[in-house]
Amino acid sequence: MTVRFSNQLVAELIQPFWAAWQAGEFMTGASAVAGTYRQRGLAWVRQAGGVRPRRGRDLQGRYLSFGEREEIALGRAAGESIRSISRRLGRSPSTISRELARNSDGKGAYRATTAHPLAYERASRPKTAKLVTNVALRARVELDLEKKYSPEQIAGRLRDDHPDDPEMWVSTETIYQSLYVQSRGALRRDLAKCLRTGRGLRQPNRQGAQRKNRVLPDMVNVAERPTEADDRAVPGHWEGDLIIGKANASAIGTLVERTTGYTMLVHLPEGYKPAQVAPALAAKIQTLPASLRGSLTWDQGVEMRDWKQVRMATDMAIFFCDPHAPWQRGTNENTNGLLRQYFPKGTDLSVHSEADLDWVAAELNDRPRKRLASSRSRSNRSDRSCCVDRLDPPILLWWACATKR
């Protein structure tokens, strides 16, 4: 079957995308490297099963790129000679001549979008996967996967059981690629659920040091947060984060007050791009009295790229946690777990209106607060008839101030 042209055949586009994705870049950023949009990049990853293609990864200079084929097509359409095109591209005239002879159509016309797939197909060296030809090996691997063995354990066990029979050996990478890559899909695709992750797509192994793109400019570390925020002595110090929806395409902002646990939800109908998060977060914080805008602690997410705008709009100090240290925002992390009762993982969060979020926040704030009730007992206020966990939010904050004096 003839290969049709697509951007996935253009190594100078697809390989920088995969390199950025494997280096820890977010899908939006990796797609931008390839000059495309997030949905297209996500489609590339899904089609490849999360496995970076080998073709074009180390493309040598002797191979013509798609851009060079476009220049050849433009030169021929303008009546330019082969030697003129070769001088302009820095290529040998014989290279241009062979390219025109091999990849022109029956009428002698040359187009880059037809020549590139022809060259791509001609350069293919298809090799049948070992798990396709060796039925006994494939059956053994499938049986061990059903036993919940990892690919590494399977590969090691096969070498121990068949030390003198290399035909019954298989590498860990071969098993993974047979599960995730469609063109090498010797194993049943549903066996991917038997892996410990259970993922349908392979995820790159990102190291913490590779997340350099997450460092925000001039951010203030949480270690510089005032003491009164650390010991929860005075209300008005907040922790914030996002809960993410299906396919990382939607989000809801969460704000939790450290002393009382009072929660506010930020409506983000257009996703969590920095340009949308900053104004929405500032508008939500501005609904609070100035006395309750002590500080805000957030993680180092790119959504807070414009954190200085939030600080200027709210006159509120903003601090950032260390990488991979969620316990530095423990109250917020716990609250996000409670919110998953209302907003389960893998669902589209953009369907919820601002009124829906306010209702959820009000119901969450109406829950009993064990630590606040104990504070009231220590303050000899048990004679009050109203229950602290039923107070309106502003009164709840005021009550926490009074009991901490």
Q: Within this chain, do residues 86 and 105 fall inside the same structural domain, yes or no?
A: yes
Per-10-residue mean pLDDT of the chain, 405 residues long, equals 71 86 83 87 84 74 84 91 92 92 87 87 76 90 91 93 93 86 73 81 58 67 88 89 89 93 92 89 93 91 90 93 89 92 91 94 84 51 38 48 44
Q: Tell me: do 378 and 355 sit in the same domain.
A: no
- pLDDT attached to residue 376: 44
Q: Which of 101, 123, 145 is the endpoint of a domain?
A: 123
The pLDDT assigned to 295 comes to: 93
DSSP 64: P
Instruction: Give pTM, 2 decimals.
Output: 0.50
User: What pLDDT score was predicted for residue 2?
Assistant: 61
* Rounded (10°) angle between helices 151-161 and 172-180: 130
d(CA 258, CA 330): 9
> What is the reported pLDDT for 377?
44
| Other beta carbons within 10 Å of 5 | 17
Residues 353 and 239 in one domain: yes
> Could you say which of 96, 123, 150 is where a domain stops?
123
Co-location of 269 and 342 in the same domain? yes
Q: Give residue 241's domain range.
A: 217-367
Number of domains in the chain: 4
Whether residue 343 sits in one domain with residue 263: yes
Radius of gyration of the chain (CA): 29
Q: What local confidence, expressed as pLDDT, does residue 1 receive?
A: 45
Structure confidence at residue 21 (pLDDT): 85
Q: Are residues 14 and 79 in the same domain?
A: yes
Report the b/e string of 178-187 with b at 16+ CB within 10 A.
Answer: bbbbeebbbb
**In this structure, is residue 202 part of a structural domain?**
no
Select from 259, 256, 255, 257 the least CA-distant residue to 232.
Answer: 259
Q: Is residue 64 part of a domain?
A: yes
Domain of 227, CATH number, reads: 3.30.420.10
